Structure 1
């Protein structure tokens, strides 16, 4: 019987559960769900998980444990990233989850997070022999990984996730030009290491890892009246003009307009503005014209390691 494993990616905004079985290059998804936990809501830049968010997180983990038990999983990993890493009561959350569910959550650092994201993206076949810059926009942090099919050349995690940026700069809707300018100056300062790392390396493609990039792709295809099913693709190449047009629309939109758009999942309704701005900022700052989306991310990278160990 093939090994059946469960991976949980516990992010700042969403908790993901992936249950799969099979071989590393040929696995079957049994359960693949995303829950909008909003663990960082109201407390992301204060470094504290607020009581309501704390309870939502525990409830979601109990729900995940039920699914894991029902599917006869043999091996489980729960990976926590930015929100739990930086929250003063993150350890309390981990203790409570273990007491309620028996699931032991591992907090990983930004470097390890970047490695998992690279492994997930590589597994999907989204990389080539040319150098790509992988970008994973989370709620708490953004990971940048410079690499190709052979290896990682450089990687770093920055605490400039969409929830943090929204909390800091997006207080009026639509976001005012002065706030956009302030955000760009802030990113210029905070992403200094990225600019140094990429100075002498030619980047062929910006590869957006799942999340907001899936929303961008879905909105572009829907506008063309095409059916867009994320489950049937692993990779999507953007037309630069179309990507700039859709991100501009999102930046200029109101909360009401985004909320009424069926192509934007509820948890991403407001954070998609900050995600659009940071995407455009990177394209412009690094003069990148080729952008693609990969549906794989951290959880597939963790899964690859679990299935490989057989």
Structure 2
């Protein structure tokens, strides 16, 4: 299936999409279509993987966990065979965010799963979760959203579709089960230790979240759903959860002594070893955030991903807002940013087919061109390093970790020496692709160094593998001795990374000047 099903004989054009969530406990896939601007879910798949269980204290993912993940991805790939790459979005969360050998998993995943896997930050995960809830069910006031995952727990406060506070804490039902309830053992002391650790993890965000305030508290995903189903099944509540219900369930679990022997309404076998750790985290959240009541909503990260995909189909890309916000925050010289962006994209349009670049590459290049000077806010000396640091560490909603890292890398090497050894290893991008984008950005910055709108002549660019021929016009370049010298220096800099920059007028102008 493609992004949009085009049929001239049918007026009800529909966009088919799939979102895949590689969580720390389970892998989820949802398939949907857009009907009259709304998302209609067509199919769901869920497979227990427990990636977080395979993450050791050194943050290395075990071979067994990798194999479990690859096996499920192969199954998902079979379901997604009819889909074009642009109609599928795959998001990876806590475990692949933390694992030191995540690159190994991603590299091996490409052999069984043809779609790119995006590792996202904790804040980005919280934003997607909030968007899923906000789109799923309207609420006129301010909302607190809690999602207890296998390796992390996400918290968000927002109003309408706008998130106001986002946080991801390193506590999850799989990791806490291994740490505090090993072999399914349950006791009052184990609960007390788990709750205390969760409260310590929550402490840094409590004052900020309580200051924001909320009128409704919402829980999402499997852990909260299971706790709610058990509490309703035991007759402790009809719907909403309160602290007294959670404490009553804790007492009931402690009396059982071991998770393996639990027999409770709403508790499936695959949740038995996780119920105590999930409950401890939820009790800690109730305690520190002073939550009165919490309701369950059946929407989370993957629904948020679907809604954002739908927005992009309508050309509403949140990344544009993130970039604009960054420009305002660091008082970027917008006229210069636009000059560099326009030049970079002019060059891009002339070389994209030969270098096999795509629309997404163009957007990332354009954003790097508009943000390359954010580091001037710190110091003009070493601006490329300052800018890269800010872009690498800023919260940029809508960008996955590699997209953000790619922009930071382009900006880091937009001037001076290019150190390939210092570049990160990407999963979503080839090194040759990164180098091509970097060359275009460097040239765009160099050609606009005088910060004038009326300076550049008409130019052309012709590309070959690891080669770019730039034609600026001989008469014009002979009048630009400083630029000619800088272009000659750029030729030498690119030659060190085995890239050839050819500028025929440069040799001619050098002869004239001599």
Q: TM-score range by the shorter chain?
A: 0.7 to 0.9
Structure 2: distance between partners of 1:16 and 1:109: 18
Please state how far the C-alpha of 1:197 moved relative to its aligned partner. 1.0
Give the structure 2 partner of residue 219 of structure 1: 230
Please state how far the C-alpha of 1:205 moved relative to its aligned partner. 2.9
Larger Rg: 2
1:203 counterpart SS class = coil
Q: Do the aligned partners of residues 267 and 60 (structure 1) sit closer, same or farther apart at CA in structure 2, a change above 3 Å counting?
A: same
Number of aligned positions between the proteins:
299
Give the structure 2 partner of residue 203 of structure 1: 214
Return the match for 1:60 from 64, 68, 72. Answer: 72
Please state how far the C-alpha of 1:200 moved relative to its aligned partner. 2.6
Residues 261-293 of structure 1 deviation map (CA, whole Å, 9 limit, x = unaligned)? 462233321111111111112112222111111
Structure 2 residue runs without a partner (length 5+): 1-12, 314-514
Structure 1: distance between partners of 2:62 and 2:39: 37
Structure 1: distance between partners of 2:157 and 2:99: 28
Moved runs in structure 1, 4+ residues, more than 6 A?
A: 71-74
1:191 counterpart SS class = helix
Q: Is the 8 A contact 2:135 2:161 kept in 1?
A: no
Alignment root-mean-square deviation, CA: 2.5
Q: Do the aligned partners of residues 147 and 209 (structure 1) sit closer, same or farther apart at CA in structure 2, a change above 3 Å counting?
A: same
Structure 1: distance between partners of 2:103 and 2:270: 25
Structure 2: distance between partners of 1:95 and 1:128: 44
Give the structure 1 partner of residue 175 of structure 2: 164
Greater share of strand = 1
Task: Tell whether 2:316 aligns with 1:304.
Answer: no
TM (normalized to structure 1)? 0.87
Return the match for 1:16 from 18, 22, 28. Answer: 28
Structure 2: distance between partners of 1:163 and 1:44: 12
Please state how far the C-alpha of 1:58 moved relative to its aligned partner. 0.6
Structure 1: distance between partners of 2:254 and 2:138: 28
Structure 2: distance between partners of 1:8 and 1:220: 30
Q: Do the aligned partners of residues 303 and 251 (structure 1) sit closer, same or farther apart at CA in structure 2, a change above 3 Å counting?
A: farther
Q: Is the 8 A contact 2:132 2:305 kept in 1?
A: yes
TM (normalized to structure 2)? 0.54
Please state how far the C-alpha of 1:71 moved relative to its aligned partner. 6.8
Give the structure 1 partner of residue 419 of structure 2: none
Return the match for 1:43 from 30, 46, 55. Answer: 55
Give the structure 2 partner of residue 155 of structure 1: 166
1:84 counterpart SS class = helix
Give the structure 1 partner of residue 408 of structure 2: none
Q: Is the 8 A contact 2:131 2:304 kept in 1?
A: yes
Q: Do the aligned partners of residues 242 and 196 (structure 1) sit closer, same or farther apart at CA in structure 2, a change above 3 Å counting?
A: closer
Task: Tell whether 2:261 aligns with 1:257.
Answer: yes
Q: Is the 8 A contact 1:11 1:82 kept in 2?
A: yes
Structure 1 residue runs without a partner (length 5+): 229-235
Please state how far the C-alpha of 1:53 moved relative to its aligned partner. 1.3
Structure 2: distance between partners of 1:148 and 1:244: 30
Please state how far the C-alpha of 1:135 moved relative to its aligned partner. 0.8
- Greater shift, 278-287 or 40-49, is seen at 40-49
Residues 170-210 of structure 1 deviation map (CA, whole Å, 9 limit, x = unaligned)? 23644222222222332232222221213433333321112
Greater share of helix = 2
- Greater shift, 62-71 or 176-185, is seen at 176-185
Structure 1: distance between partners of 2:139 and 2:225: 17
Give the structure 2 partner of residue 135 of structure 1: 146
Q: Is the 8 A contact 1:203 1:288 kept in 2?
A: no
2:53 counterpart SS class = coil
| Correspondence 1:174-193 to 2 at 5 A | 174-193=185-204
Please state how far the C-alpha of 1:136 moved relative to its aligned partner. 0.7
Q: Do the aligned partners of residues 219 and 199 (structure 1) sit closer, same or farther apart at CA in structure 2, a change above 3 Å counting?
A: closer
Give the structure 2 partner of residue 283 of structure 1: 286
Task: Tell whether 2:274 aligns with 1:271.
Answer: yes
Give the structure 1 partner of residue 478 of structure 2: none
Structure 2: distance between partners of 1:67 and 1:94: 20
Q: Is the 8 A contact 2:30 2:41 kept in 1?
A: yes
